[in-house]
Amino acid sequence: MSLAVSSPLTRERSLAVNEIFFSIQGESTQAGRPCAFVRLMGCPLRCSYCDTEYAFYEGRSKTFDDIIAQLNRYPSKLVELTGGEPLAQPRSIPFMEELVSRGFEVLLETSGALSVEGVPKEVRIIMDLKTPSSGESQRNYWDNLGFLKEGVDEIKFVVGDREDFNFLLESCRAHRLPERFAVLVSPVFGKINLEHLAGWVLDSGYPLRMQVQMHKLIWGEKRGV
């Protein structure tokens, strides 16, 4: 791991990056679209079902210009900033601003534990609300619901069991989530019966969007796709 950078100016325009790759968007309302991913290093959470633990510690410093130069080599203007937790690096905000200014369509995948207030309005936010089985539900920053853009941004619940789904239902009732946002229901990959989860979604009475991680169905647990 190398985080050395050459000057104060470079440091102001750099991020600790775990990996950059081009793949199929596997989740959210944008599922199925070719998308470039910038996975940033580091995360303050330790969710029980995390599938990117390697991003906690592995990475190197890259300047905004170097990152964008790599993105420009891909035949898509759709970019997702993911992690780890992208917002754990404050410079992710000016980086997203720069992506928008250069004509990219930007998605942000975030844990919901850090404020999204400063995220550029042009960015579509896909924000987790952590469920009980994550072990991190106490970290949900509920004020974020007031910062999200209604009718644009998305909320994701990762569901590992019935308790998690009940938490989803209560959250929907308490905060009118389906009236305000696309609500995504994502199974803990390989840990929950999909038929059972589909039945809970159908019985909920809410316009939920069940999703599976399409990229894992295609490539399994392989990194960088």
Residue 14 contacts residue 71 (beta carbons within 8 Å): no
What would the mean pLDDT of 16-42 be, rounded to a whole number? 96
State how far the Cα of 5 lies from the Cα of 54, in Å rounded to an integer. 22
User: Nearest to residue 62, comparing CAs of 78, 83, 39, 85?
Assistant: 39
pLDDT bracket for residue 221 (50, 70, 90) = confident
pLDDT bracket for residue 7 (50, 70, 90) = low
Cα distance from N-terminal residue to C-terminal residue, the chain: 21
For the ranges 25-39, 64-78, 183-197, 208-222, which has the lowest average pLDDT? 208-222
Phi, psi of 60 (to 5 degrees): -145, 155
This prediction has a pTM of 0.92
What would the mean pLDDT of 1-26 be, rounded to a whole number? 78
| Segment 53-78, tens digit of pLDDT | 999 999 999 999 999 999 999 999 99
Tell whether the model's pLDDT for residue 41 goes beyond 90: yes
Distances in Å between the Cα of 197 and the Cα atoms of 47, 51, 145 are: 20, 20, 25
Overall fold of domain 8-219: TIM Barrel (3.20.20)
Residue 66 pLDDT: 98
Tell whether the model's pLDDT for residue 212 goes beyond 60: yes
pLDDT bracket for residue 100 (50, 70, 90) = very high
Give me 195's structure tokens: 């038929």
Residue 6 pLDDT: 52
Tell whether the model's pLDDT for residue 224 goes beyond 80: no
Q: Enumerate the domain spans of the chain.
A: 8-219
Tell whether the model's pLDDT for residue 11 goes beyond 90: no
State how far the Cα of 75 lies from the Cα of 97, in Å rounded to an integer. 21
pLDDT bracket for residue 204 (50, 70, 90) = very high
| Segment 177-193, tens digit of pLDDT | 999 999 999 999 888 99
3-state helix, strand, coil in the chain (%, to 5): 35, 25, 45
- Is residue 110 classed as helix, strand or coil in its secondary structure? strand
